[in-house]
Amino acid sequence: MGVFCPQYTSQQKQIIRSSLRGMEKISCFRFVERKSEKDYVFIVPLDGCYSYVGRIGGGQLMSLSLDCLADFIIWHEMMHAIGFEHEHQRPDRDNHLTVKYENVIPAQMVNFEKIRANEVDYPDKYDYSSLMHYDSYAFGKLDEKRKVRMATMIPKKAGVSLGDNMAFSPTDIRKLNRLGKCPSPISPLNPESGKCDSPSYKALMENYCALTCGYCKGMEKTTKLVELPKSPQKEHNIKDEVKKPKVVIEEAEKDGNDVECEDLKISCKFFVEQCQKSNFRDVLKKHCRKTCGYC
């Protein structure tokens, strides 16, 4: 269940809806706009792209600023809301990556903390191509001499590079459907969607839709769908909640001595009802101090 902040235009809302339809095509998850449900995701254009992980109860905030309105970013944040952590934060990641902590922006260290093994279960092999994996330069400090960001993660596997993963990997799809206990088969996107010829989806479609997409030698594209392999029987115990968003949000001082009593967002008028709700308090202390009376 979801709610859009009224600050989004009709076109911007449609971009988000369209992206979520893409997730529906590869899983049994369905995204509907809230009517009166108690638990829901409140999607707002704040200061970046972030979400809580899993259901925390009541309204929970997801920030999609206007520069976050791309399919792969919307999918990434919704995967967090559903319950998925970053791939590069899994307990065994040091077997696959070298994290260059000295190159990470200090306020973003939280995005590189390893998750404790007793908090989450990762039954699948490490997935460098996961939509939930950051690229090599994510949150890197700026090299003042070269004017480029410094690498924060170096893959240990030969021949692997970490770029922007802009599509669901086969493992992402398998995990999503396992978590949702989706019936088998879940059909991949149909050939009319254009994904057969998309570079971003080529590996996925070659693996699961070779016949449909005409990748088999001497075959033309067909409308016959190929079944995805059945998911392993082992349950994927994604933890249900996390107590902090995926980016660090610094709280304003309540006494107002060090911070001017001003709102940072013109959209604060839309958040009056959320000012005192615990799930929104940390974010609104930063962005809507005046409207919410935090000065």
Catalytic site residues?
77
Is 133 within any annotated ligand binding site?
Answer: no
Ligand-binding annotation for 86, yes or no, is: yes
Please state, in angstroms and rounded to a whole number, the distance separating the CA atoms of residues 144 and 166. 29
Buried b or exposed e, range 17-52, using 16+ CB within 10 angstroms: eebbebbeebbeeebeeeeeeeebbbbbbbeebbbb
> Could you identify the residue written with the tokens 């709700």?
277
Q: Rounded distance, CA 74 to CA 63, Å? A: 10
Give residue for tokens 């996107």. 189
Query: What stretch of H or E contains 4?
Result: strand 2-4
End-to-end CA gap in the chain: 33
Annotated ligand binding at 88? The verdict is no
Residue stretches of the annotated binding site? 76, 80, 86
Residue stretches of the annotated binding site for Zn(2+)? 76, 80, 86
